[in-house]
Amino acid sequence: MTDQPTTENTSTGEFLHPRYWATWVGIGALRLLSLLPIRILFSIGKVLGKGLHLILPGRRRIATINIQRCFP
């Protein structure tokens, strides 16, 4: 009488394809980072922030303009 909705196979087997390996490595790295003490995480963030500040001058300029417009 009533139609039952069909369910799709949502197993993770398709996510083991090599196309997703970089994603799995990223998830694993983030899980390992979550186990580190907060002081080490702050140090890593500081190094990454300074590195990106030097590498991406265009983004730095955009951020500076946004801050100037928000706080005149």
Task: List, for residues 12-55, the tens digit of each pLDDT value.
Answer: 678 888 999 999 999 999 999 999 999 999 999 999 999 999 99
Q: In the chain, where are the structural domains located?
A: 38-72
Q: Residue 67 and residue 70: Cα distance in Å, rounded?
A: 5
- Please give the pLDDT value at position 5: 72
DSSP3 helix / strand / coil % (the chain, rounded to 5): 75, 0, 25
The per-residue pLDDT for 34 is: 96
Give the pLDDT of residue 14. 83
Tokens of 35: 């186990």
Top-confidence residue, 9 or 20: 20
The dihedral of CA 15, 18, 19, 22: what is its sign? positive
Tokens of 47: 């190094």
Residue 61 binned pLDDT confidence (cut-offs 50, 70, 90): very high
Residue 52 corresponds to which tokens in the numbers above? Answer: 């990106």
Could you count the other beta carbons within 10 Å of the beta carbon of residue 20? 13
